[in-house]
Structure 1
Amino acid sequence: MYCAFLRLSLAFLLVSLGFTASRADETLTYRWQGIDRTAILHIPEGAAGHAAPLAIVMYGSDDKAVNFQKNSGFDAVADRENFITLYPEAIDGAWNIKSKRPAINGEPVDDIGFFRTMIDDLVTRGIVDRERIYATGFSFGALMSYTLACALPDRIAAIAPVASAINEAQVSDCKTGHPMPVMMINGTGDEVQLYDGYIRSFGRLLSVPETTEYWRRIDGCTGENSKPLPHLNPHDLTRASLVQWSGCRANTGVELYRIENGGHCWPHLAVAGNGDPVDGPRFGGCSNDIETATEVWSFFKRYRLD
C-alpha cells in the first residue's frame, strides 16, 4: 500500500512538474465598448522575458480563436522561431471589415480600437517588439488583415491575407500611398471569396489580380517573376506557384502564392504516412505543396517598421 501510494505521489509530482515546465497560454481580456473582448496569447519559452515579434492570427467568419489556434499550425512555427502569436476573438464570429458590420448595443463594433488597445498594451508591458508586429488571417480574417494594414500602418509591419482579396470599401478607407509588405495565398477555384472577385449587396470584392496590382502600385514595385513550386503529392489536384514583384520601395515587397484549382482553404504540406488527402473538400481543393504558417512567417521575418 505504501509503495503504491509512493508511486502515485511520484507520478503526480512528475505530471505537475511537466505542466509547470511548459508555458500556459494566457487569455487577455480588455473592456471595450462596454463589453469584455478577449484574445489568446501564446508565448514560447524562447520569446519570454523580452520584447519579441508578434503575429496576430485571425480566423474566418463563424469560427473561434481556440479552433484556429489549433488548426492554423502557427504555434508550432512560433515555438521553433521564437515569436509570439495572438488569436483575437471576434464579435458574433465576424470582423468589422466594411462589408459585414457586427454591432454592440446598436453601434458598429470598433475592432480597430480593440486591436490598437491590445497592441499598445503588449508593447507597453515589454512583451512585444513594436517594430515587428504582423497580421495574417483566413477568409474574413484575411479581410481584417487588410483593414489593419490600412488603419494601423504605424503599428503593423507586414500582412499575409489567405483566401481573400481586398474589398472596395477597404480600398476607399485605406491611407493613400502608405507602403506595406503584403503576401497573399489564393486559390483560383475559391467558391467563397472568388479569385475574380464579386459584386454583392454589401459591396464589391476586388479580384486577386486587382488586389496585387493595388499593393504593387503602393509599394512601387517595377518587376515581376513567377515560378512553379515542387508538387509533393500526386493525389493533390492543385498546383502552386509563387509570384513575386521586385524593385519595390525599401523594406516592402509583394508576393502571391497562386494555387491552381485551389479552393477556400488554409494550405498544409502533404505528410508522408498520413494517407492520401481528400480531393475536393467542401470548399474546393486544398494545396499540399506549402505549409501556410511556415511561408507566412518566412515572409514576415524579413520586415520591420522603420
Structure 2
Amino acid sequence: MDSSPDLDIEELKMTREQYILATQQNHLPRTETAQLYPVGIYGWRKRCLYFFVLLLLVTMIVNLAMTIWILKVMNFTVDGMGNLRVTKKGIRLEGISEFLLPLYVKEIHSRKDSPLVLQSDRNVTVNARNHMGQLTGQLTVGADAVEAQCKRFEVRAREDGRVLFSADEDAITIGAEKLKVTGTEGAVFGRSVETPHIRAEPSQDLRLESPTRSLIMEAPRGVQVSAAAGDFKATCRKELHLQSTEGEIFLNADKIRLGNLPTGSFSSSSSSSSNSRQTVYELCVCPNGKLYLSPAGVGSTCQSSSTICLWS
C-alpha cells in the first residue's frame, strides 16, 4: 500500500523530463538539408508549348494580313465596299454587278446619262407577287421569245401617257394613229376585222385580197369605197355580185364601159346583110340578169328567148 505514492512521483518526473526534452529539441538547429523540387515545364513539353505559341502568332499575322488584303481589294470604305455605295436614297451600284441569288428591291433605275442593262446567259425573268406570295405577273426575256403573263398588258406613250397597245383576255386595242404592216404578205386575219377606216400610204395602192375565199364587206349604214386620185378595181375569178335589197345601184360616171359582153344574134332578113357592117349595138338584159349585146335596129332587138339567155 506504501509503494503507490512513490510510483506517482516517478511518473510525474518522467513526464516533466519528456516535456523539457521536447521543448529543447524545437530550439536546436537542424543539421539535415531540405530537398528542393523544381517547379515549371521542362523537356519536350516546353518545346511543344513554344511551338504552339509560335504557330498561333504566325496564324494571327497571316489572318491580319489577309484581312487587310481583302479590305484593300474589295475597296471597303465608310460609304460601302467596291462598286456598292450606301446613300440616303438607297444603295448605288457602279459598273457591272452580278447577283447569284434572288434580288428583292422596290425600285431599280439607272443614272440619268446611261441606260439600265439586265443581262443573263439564259434569260431575264421579272416576277410580281402579291402580299400572299402568289405570282400575279411575269415578264421573261429569252433567246427565242419575250413572254408576258399578266391579266392586262399595256404600252403607253411617254408624253401624254395614252395607251398605244393593250391586250387582255377579251380584246386587243391599238391606240396609235397609224398601224403599219411592212411585211410583203401584208396583214393576215383569221377572223373578221372591224374598223371604221382603211387607208393606204400616200402614193401607194390599197389592196384587199382573198386568194382562195370570198371577200365580204358589211356595214349597217353602208360601205363607202373612194379613190380620190386613182382607179378603183374589183376583180374576181367567177362572179361579181352587186346587190341592193331595198335601194338602188347607182353608177355615175362620164363613161360606163362593159367589156367582153357576149353578142347575141337577131333573126331578121334586113339585118343579116348588114351584120358585117354593124357598129351600133343594143344592151339587153336577160330574165336572169345577164347582159349581152344585140345588133341595134329600128326597134328593140332584145329577145328573152335568145340563145345567150337560154344557155347561161
- TM-score, reference length from structure 2: 0.22
- TM-score, reference length from structure 1: 0.22
Specify which structure has the bigger relative contact order, considering alpha-carbon pairs within 8 angstroms and separated by 6 or more residues. 1
Bigger share in helix: 1
